Amino acid sequence: MKHKCVISFFGCICAVSVFCLLFPPAVLAWRTAAFPPPAALAAGLLCAGAVLLLLPVGDEYVRSSLYFALGLGAVTVAGVVLALPLRATLLGVLCVQGLCLLRRGRARYAQIQPLFRGMAIWYNIESHARLSYSLFLYLLVAAFPSEGAAAWTGWALLGPSLALYIALVVRVRTGRTCYLGAAREIEIKDLIRGNLRTAPLQAGAKTEELSRMVRLYERVVSLMEQKHPFLDEEFSLEDLANSVYTNRSYLSKTINILSGRNFSQFVNYYRVRYGAELMKKDPKLRLTSVAQMCGFHSGPTFNAAFKINMGETPSAFLERLREEKYAKKG
């Protein structure tokens, strides 16, 4: 029986971060036989934070991040073992981290097509958050005290370094950017995925026309979620209009305004969500079967719609479900 790797690339990068957090202060404490100075603790936090900033965002590959993380760990070990000034070690760490960011940026903008995918907006938000945290990291390293500086300078740097590290850990554990508010991030993701049952228009007072549209849209959403008419491959705008007692043109206008998508995109969102629930209930299902059960005419159409609405291909989604199920059994 083939056994899967226990530690993932993602887990390895996090392990390198923990190592960089503990190694500098531990070695200095061993050399001096005393509690490490605050500057050493701050250096460990900054090195560990730099590693966490190497983690991929969006559709970036994890493997290259691991290579840079190992390189950053090697720089940290070399600087501490050779007894280099902590500031010199941190500058070497920033060089590795900066090279990784440069490579990530070139790779993202070298391909045009990914920039126009549904999740591209969220990926850019994650990238901007990473750049903002990196800038804060660079500023802290620039302010790092030199050898022989007063002890209070180390304590003054320890607080911001700890705050940065905590923010990055929360970012990794929760999937949030910690760059925008939680409610705003949820709203952005809902907008991208077509789940616009939150307030569609926030500026200006509601007019009578908008109120009518909102009431109609609520009936449409209720019908889609309770009756699942989209499971019929031949389900059309005319069918939906008849079900909610309105005309096609007004219904199409309502869906466009309140969901930001046309009828086909709107229906595909519900089909994809239904298919995701089917795969969660039974990860052994074949994708061709799931596509048919959701109301899609063909597999390629299902694959494209799934990637737009879920941010990953159905095969990747299904493989992740199977891995999670395997891990729970293990």
What's the confidence (pLDDT) of residue 113? 55
What burial class does residue 281 get, using C-beta atoms within 10 Å of its C-beta: 0-12 exposed, 13-18 middle, 19+ buried? exposed
DSSP letter for each residue of 150-198? -HHHHHHHHHHHHHHHHHHHHHHHH---SSS-HHHHHHHHHHHHT---S
Distance of alpha carbon 212 from alpha carbon 257, whole angstroms? 12
The Cβ-side half-sphere exposure at 122, using a 13 Å CA radius, reads 24
What's the confidence (pLDDT) of residue 3? 37
Q: What is the dihedral of CA 93, 94, 99, 105, to 10 degrees?
A: 130
What's the confidence (pLDDT) of residue 199? 43
What's the confidence (pLDDT) of residue 19? 95
What's the confidence (pLDDT) of residue 115? 55
Residues of the chain scoring pLDDT < 70: 1-7, 59, 111-120, 187, 189-207, 326-330
What's the confidence (pLDDT) of residue 130? 92
Q: Where are the alpha helices (DSSP H) in the chain?
A: 9-32, 38-52, 62-81, 86-110, 120-142, 151-174, 182-193, 208-227, 237-243, 248-259, 263-281, 287-294, 299-310, 314-329
DSSP 3-state of 203: coil
Report residue 90 as tokens: 């941190």
| Contact in structure between 275 and 287 (CB atoms under 8 Å) | no
Q: Which domains does the chain have, with CATH numbers?
A: 9-187 (no CATH), 208-329 (1.10.10.60)
What burial class does residue 272 get, using C-beta atoms within 10 Å of its C-beta: 0-12 exposed, 13-18 middle, 19+ buried? buried
Report residue 61 as tokens: 């590959």
What's the confidence (pLDDT) of residue 301? 84
